[in-house]
């Protein structure tokens, strides 16, 4: 059992219970299996980026609410991995009614990563440092090369994909209104 998975599971269970949601209700809202959610809560399953975003969206919280204890520095967060993306939290900023999460992101070639819709009003801002990235809403992805920046509404299903044979290195800033 991974210590990071256990702490994510503890925070997840606490948030679910504070909202009065059953395991089944949250699993249904997040579009994941009840067994998957139970495994996350008990720390017997390592969470993927796709699953964490689905659960965070269903709970209406930023991703960092699941991977970071309040008051801990960003370096204490669990790195999250998905089918194509590895994301490392660099910083969390709170300004008024908005949370900003800044990630370093590596996108591996050969597979597209599909992200579920985040909560209403969430936007993503990506700056590519190396490689060519295809990202944005699944219905209309945007291409970006090294030195370019893209922004899009992330409250719709979206994707990340290395458009060439090389890894993509980028920063990802997620803006989440509370």
As a whole number of Å, the CA-based R_g of the chain is 16
Q: How confident is the model at residue 146 (pLDDT cuts 50, 70, 90)?
A: very high
pLDDT at 6 (0 to 100) = 54
Task: Give the residue, 159 or 116, on which the prediction is more confident.
Answer: 159
Q: Which of 120, 102, 126 is nearest to 178 (CA)?
A: 120
Domain positions in the chain: 3-67, 74-177
Does domain 3-67 fall under CATH 3.90.550.10? My reply is no
Angle between helices 3-18 and 49-59 (to 10 degrees): 20
Class of domain 74-177: mainly beta
* Interval 124-141: pLDDT, tens: 999 999 999 999 999 999
């Amino acid at each position: 059992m991974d210590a990071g998975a256990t702490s994510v599971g503890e925070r997840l269970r606490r948030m679910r219970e504070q909202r009065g949601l059953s395991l089944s209700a949250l699993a249904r809202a997040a579009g994941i299996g009840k067994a998957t959610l139970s495994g996350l809560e008990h720390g017997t399953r390592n969470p993927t980026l796709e699953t964490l975003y689905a659960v965070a969206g269903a709970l209406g919280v930023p991703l960092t609410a699941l991977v970071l204890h309040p008051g801990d520095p960003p370096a204490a967060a669990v790195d999250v991995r998905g089918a194509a993306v590895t994301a490392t939290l660099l910083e969390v900023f709170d300004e008024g009614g908005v949370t900003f999460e800044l990630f370093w992101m590596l996108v591996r070639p050969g597979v597209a990563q599909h992200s579920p819709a985040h909560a209403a009003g969430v936007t993503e801002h990506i700056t590519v440092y190396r490689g060519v990235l295809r990202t944005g809403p699944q219905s209309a992805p945007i291409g970006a090369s090294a030195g370019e920046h893209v922004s899009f509404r992330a409250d719709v299903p979206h994707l990340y994909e290395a458009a060439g044979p090389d890894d993509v290195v980028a920063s990802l800033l997620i803006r989440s209104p509370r």
